[in-house]
Amino acid sequence: MRLNKFLAHAGVASRRKADELIRSATTTVNGKIVTDPALDVSTSDKVYFDGSRIKVSEETVAFMLHKPKGYITSVGDPDGRRTVMELIFVRERVFPVGRLDKDTTGLLLLTNDGALSQALLHPKFKITRQYEAVIDRSIQPIEIQKLKRGIHVWDGEKGKAKVISQKTVKKRTTVVLELTEGKKREIRRIMGRLKIKLFSLHRTHFGPLSLGKLKTGETRPLSEKEIEKLQALCRIKKR
């Protein structure tokens, strides 16, 4: 396996980003610094990235976390902020699939399979995510149509969302939104563009998976069947 693919499968970064990291002399193989992303390595080689040994597991494992507010989605944080990894008590080395920002709650996936993680986030597979947002007014029909087409939110990029339902009670509207790309802070940027105040944001679904009755801060392993569903969506063969 090429070194850049090894880092990607271990969840360090995408293969393209791994190329940059390797060329920056961050990786050693059997005690020697390697700057060639195409170097062939095997699971028996001692591969270290940024001082920590990394491995590619033979078996895919994945977990669902009900992320609370106040935690950042990161494996570690140099500023000492609380991370979601403080809520994970499992033997396997896992990492988050994508991100939920500090103030967003709900369904977060973690896995040891870098290829699966990258595929779930890749726009070409159009894996849906559903969110419940509490806002200060309902989204108007003309705005709903704009969201379907996409509205400019930053750097020439468009934010897109499908409005599934919305209900207003006492001047607060709960809207269910469906996205397929999950760009950085996409919903928050959309609401800012529409001049809508966002009180809370909560992810309830990721692809075929639902948060269900999982309590805030709790984690559960995905079943083999659930993992196979995710792999099938991304056209990944079972390990």
- Residues serving a catalytic function are 101
Alpha carbon distance 85, 107 (integer Å)? 14
Q: Other CB atoms closer than 10 Å to residue 199's CB: what's the count?
A: 11
Alpha carbon distance 167, 132 (integer Å)? 11
Q: Which residues touch 216 (CB under 8 Å, ≥6 apart)?
A: 66, 68, 105
Q: Which residue from 122, 113, 105, 117 is spatially nearest to 55, judged by alpha carbons?
A: 113
Asked if 56 and 6 touch (Cβ cutoff 8 Å), the reply is yes
> Which two structure tokens, joined as six digits, stand for 125?
């597979």
